[in-house]
Every structure is written in structure tokens, then in C-alpha cells.
Amino acid sequence: MFSNKTEFKEVFLQRLEMTCGKSFKESSKRDRYQTLGNMIREYVSSNWIKTNEKYRSAKEKQVYYLSIEFLLGKLLRHNLLNLGVDQVVQEGLSELGINLDDLEEVEADAALGNGGLGRLAACFLDSLACLNLPGHGCGIRYKHGLFEQKIVDGYQVELPEQWLRNGHVWEVRKADLSIEVPFWGKVETLEKDGRLTFRHVDAETITAVPYDVPVVGYNTDTVNTLRLWSAEPSPYLVHKDIMKYKRETEAVSDFLYPDDTHDEGKILRLKQQYFLVSASIRSIIRAYRKQFNRIEDLHEHVGIHINDTHPVLAIPELMRVLLDEENLGWEEAWHITTQTISYTNHTTLAEALEKWPIRIFQPLLPRIYMIVNEINERFCQQLWQKYPGEWNRIENMAIIAHDQVKMAHLAIVGSHSVNGVAEIHTEILKKREMNSFYQLYPEKFNNKTNGITHRRWLLKSNPKLTNLICEGIGDSWISKPDQLLELEGYQDDPAFLDQLFMVKQENKIKLAARIKEQTGINVDITSIFDIQVKRLHAYKRQLLNILHIMYLYNRIKEDSSFTMYPRTFIFGAKASPGYYYAKKIIKLINSVADKVNNDPVVRGQIRVVFLENYRVSLAEEIFPAADVSEQISTASKEASGTGNMKFMMNGALTVGTLDGANIEIKEMVGDDNIFIFGLTAEEVLDYYQNGGYRSFEYYHHDKRIRTVVDQLTNGFFEDVEDEFEMISDSLIMENDQYFVLRDFASYIDVQKEVGLKYKDQNQWLKMSLLNISRSGHFSSDRTIQQYADDIWNIRPVNKRPLTKN
Ligand SMILES: *Cc1c(COP(=O)(O)O)cnc(C)c1O
């Protein structure tokens, strides 16, 4: 299509006029963005087709990653980088007087996810393609992604997100590959040739229409597929109230559920899950059937991975296809299903374990319910054989109990691999939360510590640091991120450390400009940028951070001789719309920000900024500018975290608890290059089990704590008097479930140490460099290679270098 900038310009101008019907001069930014996007998508299409052909002819095993969320963010710049045409395009556009950054601004984030879980799925797709592994994503094409957040008077306000308003240039609609997904109705049982057969009748079907998005690898011609399903009214269905049916159908892919911990308990949510799973499984089987004769060999050629329990109905759906459509017997179908499916657990928070009442499940999915019931009966029989008389154990492990279907139990029983997402998380699963299952199936349990794609979170988001690294150690680390270790040779090189300092300063200047633009606040770029960005949740303890800021404020106010290294505390977080407590924390952060930023006594030393609408594209501006990374969850609660890895890779130092992947970060960098504080997971779990924590005592005995907690309710803030009563109550009346007060003193101490360490610039830069150099381990390339080797048993196909077309 083009191989240099002159050709690029020619094609671009031609295409612009052809598709927009305007002259170049008349064209808008959007016209230009859309032209470029379409051009790039077409540019990849021949490699896309070739990749699929190669997968077919190689007959290699392929994996499908089923996820209810894919938090992709923007794709233009990412694709240009991976295709290796970033430079050519940028220069070509520049000669036309177009700034590529401006065009990127036009693109909407594809925010088809809430946070870590959805972003992990997006990072995995990138790594699969980059490693030439035959692996594809299956998800839902939500019409509205995660809500847009505005802050009004310090409160979160949610606006519907509209990413499809101007179309999505990266997708290709494939209506001819649509699938009919049945709901409701009933099951007829018939005897045919001495065999029971089942027919789902009187169902209301929904048409699942696939939209395929190419997933482009870096410096390779591999292009995998992300297939997103959209719900449309079925052309085959005759319905008495067509408008009602149309509304109800489209609702299935209308909204992403804006909650990443609780199960919303809505029929619509279960409909979404089965919709995703049924469309995906049947399109996988259809493709398999075109290529292979023996359905009995399915698991040799196909792996299906379920990202958390949301797609767990893949298990009974695959059973249904094998039993009812392929006419296999139960035992054989079960063997194939369990060998095909693998499962990742993402949480041990009890409230986040999905359960569905039978009264909802059974009528909506009658045939699937029958199969789950059969799986449960056989499983309980097996338990009875192994643990005769142990009623309690069997009841606790059952898939259906107390009129509920337990999705995590179904996932473990119906898959061959169960993995946690960080070492400590996997250990907690094995020793505690899922211990009885671990005893039964020790061979299924394994760990795959999460990762992030360094191509987006370093190459794309931090070009200045990328260039510096390349000047230092060349560019082979880009395909082998472990080679970042070579940076350690520069630990005692003052010139290199100086440049590292400059890069950070420049990134801080850019973020400061963004802060000014969004909030009007001036921040001091020589201050420490101390950042906590992630979903707002009690266990993530944004509250600990903001109470500590209140403590610093008080300290400065009461003692004029107190000094500290100036700090800018930056927050970004969305709260689930129904999560009242989390919204109160957002209000508190904004109230503290008002108080601090408007007080001439303290504002030279502390600033507080809340950046609204935290999302992937904003995150890309934030991580490169961070000095300090706040990873302060209550130990045992954060399964892994991935924000922690993005900060580390960009040279920020972690202030963190011994939780999730923080522990592995600490192991990589050593105790001197991280700031650890607070209770351990053991201690937290011991408190939960045996009691012994009384938050009131910490309130009573520590004046620093008493003051800040009192300030929540004593009129310190000009807001309505009882605005923060709920927060105060959670700490005192409800005994502080997340140990905020318990860890408070330890947090003060470690933060003081951070301030002191930062003063020694040279030492700090060395620590920062060491964090960058050891971050290669947290590339999702490492994670995906482990999934490929240990769980999926897939190999690279298509290893040729990029063919320019
Ligand atoms: C990485 C990322 C997350 C996950 O952050 P954690 O700190 O691990 O919770 C959430 N949202 C966005 C936009 C991200 O990029």
C-alpha cells in the first residue's frame, strides 16, 4: 500500500478525497483520522487473511480467550507502532501539516471493561499476536462502554459513554457469520434409537452478529482476531410485541456492567454471559468442523480459556453442543470439555464470587440448567465415593446448593487448569478459599502472575524513556523485555542518570499541563508526583492515602518548623455508580484537595489533584510522570494488580503492602528499592479468623489518627455536616474492616522515608533505574509464554518477519 512517506502521502490524500468527498483543505480532523484508520485497517487485511490461512494449513492448536471485558483503549497509535510504520506516517502527515497526536485525540477509547481484568485481556491479545501465537479474543461489543466520569462540586457524575457515535474504524462486521442464541422456552425430551435426545423449543432467540477487530503483532505479520458480538433482533423470530422484543434484545449488548467486584444479580447480566459464550463456542465449533472431521479430537486443536467466571457457561454450552448436536455420550463429551477449557480466578473476595439463583437460571436457560444439574449430580456422587459421610464437605463443594448455582465451582470442576494471578493469590486459593478443591484436584492448580504489554505501557506511552533505553542498550529488549536488565550497567553513570532525570521531568511537565487544563490547578514539577490511580474500592484503600494527606496538613499547620519534600498527590478513580461508600471517598478526596490547595500555609508543600475520567488513554499520560506508585490495598485482597507493574516499568518507586504482585516486585528489586509497610496477608487473615482487632483502640491511643478521624465529622470541611459520617462510621463503628487505622502509623513512617530518600536525587535515580531494568519480568509476553507452555500447549505459527504490502 505504501513503503515510504511519499507513497503514504499520495495514498492518504487520494483516499481522503475519495471517502470524504471533500478536498484536503476542507477536511476535518475526524475525516483525516477516519481516512488514516481505514487505510491502516486495510493495510493489515492481507496479513490478517494470510494469518488465518496459515493457522488452518498448519493445523496447529488455536486458543480462544473468552472475556466479558476487553479494555482496549485507543488502537491507532498502537497499530502504527506494531506495524512499524509509526515514523513514516508521522513524518508523512507532518509534511501535510497534520500532527499525528491531534488525530489520535479524535479516537475514542474502546472502554469495554472496568479495570484490571479487562485491561489484562487486552494486554494478552497484544502479547499473543507479538509472540506469533494462534490465540484470539471473544467478547461483547457493548454499545456503551464504561461510563464517562465528571466531577461536579466534588461528586462523581456518570454520563453514558458513546464510543460508537462516529463508528469504529477497526472493526469489520460479518453478518454472514451470525449465530442464533436461544433463551427461555422449554426442553422436550424424546427417545430416539434407544437414546434420550433433547430439544429446546419455544425459545426466544437473539441474533449474535460478529464484529472482528484485527490484533496486530509487533514486527511480525501475525494478525489475530478479536471477535466482538453484538445483539440484534432475530430475523427468524415471530414475536407478538416486536418493539418490546427489539428493545429487550438490543439491551443485551447495550451496556457494560459498571462494577468489577459484585455480581449485579440481574437477569440481563446472565443473558450477556450466555450470549457471549453460546455465540463464541458455536462459532469455534463451526470453524473446527470446516477443518477437522473428528469432534473427538477437539481438545487437541482447540483451547478455550475463561477469564474469571463470567464466561463459565462455556462449560455446559460445550457439553450441550457435544451431546445434542454432535451426539456424543456424556463421558466422552465431558472428557473433551474438561480438556478444552481452562480457567483463571481473579479474586478471593467472597462478595465477588458469582452465584445465580435457580429461579432465574432455570427458566432463562432451561437446557443449560439441565446440564449443569447433571454435572453437579455426577460431581457430588464422585465426592460421596471419595468422602463417604462427609456431608458438610460435599455441601460446601457442590455446584448447586441452597437453590444457587456457584459459578466458581463449575469452573474448577469443568476445566483442566485453574490459575491464580500472582503467587500469593494462588497460595491463598490453594490453602484457604479453594482448599477443598485443591485437595481433590491438586494437579489443576497453578500460578500465572499477571503482566502488562510493554509495547503500550512503555514504547507507546513513554517514547522519551524508550529512546533513552535504546540509546543505552539497543533495541533488542523490545522483543526480549528481560534484556532491560542490561540497563543496570548504567547505575553508576551520572550522565545516563541525568538523562533519566530529564525524561521524568519532561513527562511531569506534560502531565502538569494536562492537570492545569483539566482542573486549573498549578502543580510544582519539582515536587514528588505521588500517584494512586485505579478503580475506587474500599479494599484498595484510597482512604488511607487521603487520611495521610490530612495528617500531613495538620502537621504543617500545627508546627511551623515542620518541613517536608514538596509532594503532589494525584488521584484518578471511577466508583461503581451504585457503590455509595466509594463515591463518598471521591468526595472526600476532592474536599481535602479544596482545603489543601486553597491554604497558603500548606500549598507550597502539598497539592492534591483528582483527575476525572480515569481510563486507558489518561493512564498512558500518568504512568510516565510518576515518582511514587501507591499500591496500598489491604494485604490478601488485591489478587495481583497490574497498575503496580506499569508504574515500575516507567521508573516510579512503589509504596505498597505485601499484597498481590507487589510481593514479586519486591523480590525482583530487593528491599532497598521499594517501600513496604503494613500488615501481612497472614496477619490480616488471622485477624479475620480469630478476631483481636479493635480499631477504636488505634483511634483512642494515636492522636494523629484521632485528629483526622474527628475531622471527618467535626466541621473541619465546610461541606454538609454529615457528609463523611459514613466514612467515620466505617472506621470506628464497623471496626475498620480494611485495617486503615491499623496500618496508619506504618504508612506515615514509610512515607516519611520516601521523602527523605527522594532528597538524595542520585540515589533515587539509581533506584528508579533498577526498577525499570527489573520490570521486564512483568511483561505480558512472559505471562503469555507461560500460559502457552503450561496451560494451552500452543506453539508459534507464522514466524516470518513483516511483509510490506
Ligand atoms: C492497569 C489499569 C487498571 C488496573 O489497575 P490496578 O492498579 O491494578 O487496579 C485499571 N484501569 C486502567 C485504565 C488501567 O490501565
Which protein residue's CA is at the shortest distance from atom 9 of ligand 1?
Answer: 534
Tell whether 409 and 460 lie within a shared domain.
no
The C-alpha atoms of residue 180 and residue 153 are separated, in whole angstroms, by 47
d(CA 409, CA 354): 10
Q: Provide mean pLDDT across the span 420-430.
A: 98
The one catalytic residue among 136, 141, 346, 766: 346
The predicted structure's pLDDT at residue 1: 79
CATH number for the domain that contains residue 209: 3.40.50.2000
β-pairing, 417-420 vs 445-447, is parallel
Confidence of residue 799 (pLDDT cuts 50, 70, 90): low
Query: Out of 642, 654, 657, 783, which one is annotated catalytic?
Result: 642
Instruction: Supply the DSSP symbol for 673.
Output: G
> Quick one: which of 212, 220, 128, 118 has its CA closest to 799?
220
Query: 480 and 367 in one domain?
Result: no
Is 535 catalytic? The answer is yes
Same domain, 758 and 638: yes
> In which region does residue 458 sit, left (phi positive, over 0), alpha (psi from -120 to 50) or beta (all else)?
alpha
Task: List CB contacts of 408: < 8 A, sequence separation 6 or more.
Answer: 309, 312, 345, 353, 354, 434
Please check whether residues 358 and 461 belong to one and the same domain.
Answer: no
Helix/strand/coil (H/E/C) assignment for every residue in 312-381: CCHHHHHHHHHHHHCCCCHHHHHHHHHHHEEEECCCCCHHHCCEEEHHHHHHHCHHHHHHHHHHHHHHHH
> Do residues 575 and 701 both lie within one domain?
yes
**pLDDT-based confidence at residue 804 (cuts at 50, 70, 90):** very low
Residues 333 and 470 in one domain: no
80 located within any domain: no
Distance 616 CA to ligand 1 centre (A): 8
Asked whether 536 lines ligand 1 (CB < 6 A), one says: no
Question: Is residue 260's pLDDT more than 80?
Answer: no
Query: For the residues of 720-781, what is the DSSP string, one character each?
Result: -TTTTHHHHHHHTTT--TT-TTTTHHHHHHHHHHHHHHHHSHHHHHHHHHHHHHTGGGGBHH
502 and 557 assigned to the same domain = yes
Catalytic residue, chosen from 119, 455, 540, 541, is 540
CA of 611 to the centre of ligand 1 (A): 14
In the residue annotation, 78 being an active-site residue is answered as: no
pLDDT of residue 802: 43
Summarize pLDDT for 24-82 with one digit per residue, the tens.
999 999 999 999 999 999 999 999 999 999 999 999 999 999 999 999 999 999 999 99
pLDDT exceeds cutoff 90 at 455 = yes
**Which residue's C-alpha cell is 508459534?**
796
In a domain, 805, yes or no: no
DSSP 566: -
In a domain, 22, yes or no: no
DSSP state of 634: P
Single residue among 397, 416, 435 that ends a domain in this structure: 416
Q: Specify whether 192 is located in the same domain as 139.
A: yes
* Rounded-to-integer distance, Cα 594 and Cα 588, Å: 10
In this structure, the strands spanning 653-656 and 628-631 are parallel
Q: Which domain holds residue 479?
A: 454-787
Tell me what pLDDT residue 350 has: 79
CA of 650 to the centre of ligand 1 (A): 15
Is 715 part of a structural domain of the chain? yes
pLDDT over 70, % of the chain = 99
Residues contacting residue 626 through CB under 8 Å, at least 6 positions apart: 529, 530, 531, 647, 650, 651, 652
What is the SS3 assignment for 167?
coil
Task: Please report, for residues 463, 509, 769, the alpha-carbon distance to residue 503 in angstroms, rounded to integers and kept in the order given.
Answer: 9, 10, 12
- Contact between 796 and 309 under an 8 Å Cβ cutoff? The reply is no
Q: How far apart are the C-alpha atoms of 408 and 437, rounded to whole Å?
A: 11
Q: What is the pLDDT of residues 482-536, one digit of tens each?
A: 999 999 999 999 999 999 999 999 999 999 999 999 999 999 999 999 999 999 9
Q: Are 393 and 458 contained in the same domain?
A: no
Confidence of residue 272 (pLDDT cuts 50, 70, 90): very high
In a domain, 82, yes or no: no
Tens digits of residue pLDDT in 766-797: 999 999 999 999 999 999 999 999 999 999 99
- Residue 238 belongs to some domain of the structure: yes
Residue 747 has pLDDT above 90, yes or no: yes
Ligand 1 close to Cβ of residue 208 (< 6 A): no
**Which of 646, 742, 774, 777 does the annotation list as catalytic?**
646
In a domain, 602, yes or no: yes
Is 642 labeled as catalytic in the residue annotation?
yes
Residues 180 and 133 in one domain: yes
Tell me: do 384 and 523 sit in the same domain. no
Residue 770 burial by Cβ neighbours in a 10 Å radius (0-12, 13-18, 19+): buried
720 — pLDDT class (breaks 50, 70, 90): confident
User: Which helix H or strand E contains 73, and what residues bound it?
Assistant: strand 70-73
pLDDT at 266: 86
| The model scores a pTM over 0.95 | yes
The total of structural domains in the chain comes to: 2
Instruction: Indicate the average pLDDT of the chain.
Output: 96
Residues 700 and 606 reside in one and the same domain: yes
CA distance 64 to 187: 29
CA distance 408 to 414: 10
Residue 795 bears catalytic tag = no
CB 250 within 8 A of CB 231: yes
- Residue 803, pLDDT above cutoff 50: no
Give, rounded to a whole angstrom, the gap between the first and last alpha carbons of the chain. 5
Is the predicted pLDDT of residue 190 greater than 50, yes or no? yes
In this structure, is residue 306 part of a structural domain? Answer: yes
